[in-house]
């Protein structure tokens, strides 16, 4: 058997394992996610004994490694990590993971945030042990991880008297719903939550307590990049959940993410290409992160989002324009604004 055949056989074996995680009974999964949230007895938010998630303050010099952890309830760790209370704080929350390790986009987003806000604090939430489970299990864990994040944010805000308007949560996939749960549980409105293609399976019809919603922060902006398929079966959530919901390229599927091109790229890389095998599933899903990174870095050439009355209006090309970049024909029923 040739190397190419071995490579493709390995790809399909691993693919089978990935797709199997989404093949569970949808009724069973829905019970996990939409069930009653964990109880919140008096004083729960100051009880740090059950926190499992870890909070790493990453640096501009070493964006790809966890060099210093801030431990909830331990003020000395704030000083050790050289947290700056006078500036903006970004909290990045990853999603479900096949490998149990941070994906390559994490340090890229960390670096982009530091390039946009050099004096900021960029914290990465590590809930890998819970995110590396069968998908329904990890989806159910978003409620507990959201509690961890809510406790951390509430504690560090009170400990350092941080202005709430300087706290910004960014969540990808399941991490977007973690951010939503956290925002719902804090005793004060978080300034902003950015949802990067919030996960769809089991969340499409869930209530606001269990998903990201516009009630979770003063401003919730959402990028939808992988909504192809029937509701609750698409990888990204289809319905609008924020104050502003942006659907790049219609939001269903992204250019360059077709199976043929992705498989060819994997085959050309040989054994090393297997590390990127999951791009077959998450290419369009992860595009939300890279579009957001682009909006942070390319401030002189901002991507434009066009507001339309409906998906049908968009599909017909009836958009308005105030943009100088490949602007479509003007129409009175739509408006545009930079994506930031």
Q: Catalytic residues, which ones?
A: 173, 197, 285
Residue 13 in tokens? 């074996």
The more confident residue out of 72 and 261 is 72
Read off the pLDDT of each residue in 11-39 and give the average, rounded to a whole number: 47
CB 197 within 8 A of CB 171: no
Mean pLDDT of the chain: 83
Same domain, 86 and 233: yes
Same domain, 292 and 308: no
Answer whether residue 134 shows pLDDT above 80. Answer: yes
Strands 167-172 and 190-196 turn out to be: parallel
pLDDT on residue 262:
64
Angle at 236 between CA 296 and CA 212, to 5 degrees: 75
Listed as own residue / partner, the contacts of 23-30 with beta carbons closer than 8 Å and 24 or more positions apart are: 24/134, 24/135, 24/136, 26/201, 26/202, 26/232, 28/136, 29/135, 29/136, 29/139, 29/201, 29/202, 30/202, 30/205, 30/206
Same domain, 325 and 290: no
pLDDT tens-digit readout, 203-251? 999 999 999 999 999 999 999 999 998 887 899 999 999 999 999 998 9
Answer whether residue 9 shows pLDDT above 50. Answer: no
pLDDT on residue 38:
66
Residue 193 counted as domain residue: yes
d(C-alpha 164, C-alpha 194), whole Å: 15
Residue 223 counted as domain residue: yes
Q: Residue 331 belongs to what domain range?
A: 304-340
Residue 65, number of CB atoms within 10 A of its CB: 11
The pTM of this model reads: 0.83
Same domain, 237 and 313: no
pLDDT on residue 68:
98
Read off the pLDDT of each residue in 114-137 and give the average, rounded to a whole number: 97
Same domain, 224 and 308: no
pLDDT on residue 320:
55
The more confident residue out of 302 and 87 is 87
pLDDT on residue 273:
53
Q: Residue 218 sits in a domain of what CATH number?
A: 3.40.50.1820
CB 206 within 8 A of CB 180: no
CB 222 within 8 A of CB 212: yes
pLDDT on residue 331:
31
């Amino acid at each position: 058997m040739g190397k190419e055949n071995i490579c493709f056989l390995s790809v399909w074996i691993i693919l089978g394992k990935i797709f199997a995680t989404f093949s569970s009974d949808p009724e069973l999964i829905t019970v996990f996610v939409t069930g009653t949230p964990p109880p919140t007895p008096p004083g729960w938010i100051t009880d740090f004994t059950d926190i499992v998630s870890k909070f790493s303050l990453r640096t501009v010099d070493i964006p790809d490694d966890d060099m210093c952890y801030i431990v909830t309830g331990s003020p000395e760790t704030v000083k050790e990590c050289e947290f700056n209370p006078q500036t903006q704080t970004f909290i990045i929350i990853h999603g479900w993971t096949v490998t149990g390790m941070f994906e390559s986009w994490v340090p890229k987003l960390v670096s982009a945030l530091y390039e946009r806000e050099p004096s900021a604090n960029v914290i990465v939430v590590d809930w890998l042990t819970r995110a590396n489970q069968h998908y329904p299990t990890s989806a159910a864990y978003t409620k507990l991880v959201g509690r961890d994040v809510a406790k951390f944010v509430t504690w560090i805000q009170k400990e350092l008297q941080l202005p709430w308007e300087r706290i910004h949560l960014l969540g990808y996939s399941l991490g977007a719903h973690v951010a939503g749960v956290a925002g719902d549980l804090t005793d004060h409105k978080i300034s902003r939550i950015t949802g990067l293609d919030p996960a769809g399976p089991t969340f499409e019809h869930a209530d606001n307590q269990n998903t990201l919603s516009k009630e979770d922060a003063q401003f919730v902006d959402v990028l939808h990049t992988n909504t192809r398929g029937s509701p609750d079966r698409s990888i990204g959530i289809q319905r609008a959940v924020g104050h502003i919901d942006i659907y790049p390229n219609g939001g269903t599927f992204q250019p360059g993410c077709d199976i043929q091109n992705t498989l060819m790229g994997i085959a050309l890389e040989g054994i090393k290409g297997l590390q990127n095998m999951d791009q077959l599933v998450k290419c369009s899903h992860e595009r939300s992160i890279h579009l957001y990174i682009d909006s942070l870095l390319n401030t002189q050439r901002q991507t434009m989002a066009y507001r339309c009355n409906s998906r049908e209006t968009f599909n017909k090309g009836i958009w308005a324009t105030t943009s100088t970049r490949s602007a479509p024909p003007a129409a009175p029923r739509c408006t545009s604004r930079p994506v930031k």
